[in-house]
Structure 1
């Protein structure tokens, strides 16, 4: 218990100043205490306290409650939710430090390794292409990327078609990359995936299976399909990215947390790129590009 004395005294002082009970603690108070400790320091632009430090403070609160045979408030919502977010950020920060970013040439090789745009491979190709290109252009980590919905990421059509992406922390505009290869255009990737996704959601797997499909594989030098976008995509609030099943069936559940890393490794292998130090964060644009 002596190891937790300073951390416990910090929590106790906070409770006294805010007229809260330190023991037993209300999980809502613990959540507020931990979340406020993670707020950004306006002077440095960084979190006021490191996630590892906040995790230690939570451990001190838990230890004292266990010593008094009281329920652990850090494992009860909403305190447990705050800790999950902080630990996820800590893992993401560690992963970013260990990642090797893909060059533009390597990223194009990754895209060229996608399956052909023929049935049933087209479903995998279009979903994975959007995951890769959207991860590249937004710089989002795997969890916020896979958390996007058909409402938080939407297509705005017109002569200058673009995507609007609401990450919850900021709103991003992604313009069509008309001066580059169509396969790397995120707006094209979004339009192509939504074409299949909307059919599956509205009419079911059979309608998706029987729609016309190209007989030959698409190449990286095709036309920009985003030029044909004339209407805004429906905002249904459903997951933008889904699990895929055999035979080209699109599921309803969000993919697992390791999906992005697995895709990077899989297509890197097909493209004869060394997978060493490649993670989901390797998709981010290198500085200066």
Structure 2
């Protein structure tokens, strides 16, 4: 039963061209293949069939669809190689496939490890279930044989979760110190990255939430209690609310220091964006080509009221920037956000494998706990609904708080 997952992907490339073409056709739209869509078109007109396919795709995030596509190709290739039927699938075939995948190992620089974690195997099962559901077929993964197989894998493979290290305040300051030099061509990335790191940390934002932000999602207001500017960030779609039914809002106050003030970073970045939008890339380059500019250690957000850039056009708050300083129109992907954190960690002399996009969100919770914030306060800003998740961060930050071991008199 070798040839599962990554090995199966390699075997899929070795299959005859007609078979590979069939696999690609089957997995082209992930949730609904061309054959099924053609059957829909025979019953309904093109507009209705196209709408169905579009909304089925929109039911999952792009990241989930990418993962499901890879999982479905691997499953289809295994079925082709074993002479099984991928759709509709026999529950016993699915159970055997998952069990074989659980036995796979791969060579890493740290030695031989399991190729797939229990969580990844559960995602593979979810991909198979999603394709069946999109075709109006009962899910083979709901049967006892598949559920018990996954349970057995979890009980057998009690691996410690690989969590990313949190970016704490001192780490954040180290990352900010590693930004490109002021002036051209590093200035655009310098300003954008400062805002991204500060918003991700102070707002406890996920990498996908950062990547999806537009200029229309951020508003500068004056806090009536302190008379200081604050950033109001609206999150239209989040991991816990992918349909955007209840819009979530995050508030970012003025920082105590200009270097760690998200409002100042927003003012600096949008000032540059406005110059770029008004006068073009050439004028921006001319203005920034004077070389290094010394950052003033004073707040620049007191009189900032925002720019005209928030005009309902949905322009990306964090667009891609080329190494030559060119500001694009397409937003950074969530993967690019994670790579950015890793890149800055490496520049700061840290192990990039220990950090990722989640490090900013985890860093907020851990640093807030170190600062004495209650779990309710942490949950509010981080939009956590499960107290157990927050308690895990608090235990990491203050393992001896509310711990009876301190009462033993040792």
Shorter-chain TM-score range: 0.5 to 0.7
The match for 1:227 is 302
The match for 1:171 is 249
Q: Indicate how the Cα distance of structure 1 residues 98 and 224 shifts in structure 2: closer, same or farther if over 3 A, else same.
A: same
Deviation at 1:114, TM superposition (A): 0.8
Q: Indicate how the Cα distance of structure 1 residues 61 and 173 shifts in structure 2: closer, same or farther if over 3 A, else same.
A: closer
Deviation at 1:156, TM superposition (A): 3.0
**Structure 1 residues not aligned, in runs of 5+:** 1-23, 36-49, 66-70, 75-95
Is 1:132 the counterpart of 2:197? The answer is: yes
The match for 1:12 is none
Deviation at 1:126, TM superposition (A): 0.5
Q: Indicate how the Cα distance of structure 1 residues 196 and 272 shifts in structure 2: closer, same or farther if over 3 A, else same.
A: same
TM-score, with length taken from structure 1: 0.64
Structure 1 distance, partners of 2:170, 2:282, is: 38
- SS of corresponding position for 1:251: strand
Q: After superposition, where does 1:131-210 map in structure 2 within 5 Å?
A: 131-156=196-221, 160-168=228-236, 169-177=247-255, 179-180=256-257, 182-210=258-286
The match for 1:72 is 135
The match for 1:110 is 175
Report 1 or 2 for greater relative contact order, CA contacts < 8 Å, sequence distance ≥ 6. 1
Structure 1 distance, partners of 2:126, 2:180, is: 48
Deviation at 1:162, TM superposition (A): 1.4
Q: After superposition, where does 1:272-287 map in structure 2 within 5 Å?
A: 272-284=349-361, 285=364, 286=366, 287=368
TM-score, with length taken from structure 2: 0.47
Q: Indicate how the Cα distance of structure 1 residues 57 and 242 shifts in structure 2: closer, same or farther if over 3 A, else same.
A: closer
**Structure 2 residues not aligned, in runs of 5+:** 1-42, 44-48, 61-118, 138-160, 237-246, 372-410
The match for 1:38 is none
Instruction: Verify the 8 A CA contact 1:155 1:190 in the aligned structure 2.
Output: no
Is 1:59 the counterpart of 2:128? The answer is: yes
- SS of corresponding position for 1:216: coil
Q: Indicate how the Cα distance of structure 1 residues 208 and 52 shifts in structure 2: closer, same or farther if over 3 A, else same.
A: same
Larger Rg: 2
Structure 1 distance, partners of 2:232, 2:188, is: 23
Q: Render the CA deviation track for 1:119-174: whole Å, top value 9, x for unaligned.
A: 22111100111111110011111111110001011333695111110012311221
Deviation at 1:224, TM superposition (A): 1.4
